[in-house]
Amino acid sequence: MQLRLLENRVPEAAESEAGFRYFAAVVIKVEQLEWLYLAAQGHRRAQFDWAADGVVTSCWLVP
């Protein structure tokens, strides 16, 4: 099968099926996240933690 651009058109069934084997579902569970905001006036950094019961705690790391 020759590759054709999908610009401005819906792919045909055969084109969709050919790439189907390259897709997978990815399931993630976030337990901790660090957030960073860079600014000339001062950087900010925070940490967020998710407990098993769904409770979220957070704290500033910088400033």
Residue 15: CB atoms within 10 A of its CB come to 14
Domains in the chain: how many in total? 1
DSSP label at residue 21? T
Q: What is the C-alpha to C-alpha distance for residues 59 and 16, in angstroms, rounded to an integer?
A: 46
Range of the domain at 36: 13-62
Residue 45 domain-assigned (yes or no): yes
pLDDT for the residue numbered 45: 97
More confident residue, 1 or 16: 16
Q: Per-residue pLDDT for 1 more than 80?
A: no
Strands 44-50 vs 56-62: parallel, antiparallel or unpaired: antiparallel
More confident residue, 1 or 50: 50
pTM: 0.58
* Residue-wise pLDDT tens digits, 4-52: 677 788 888 888 888 888 899 999 999 999 999 999 999 999 999 999 9
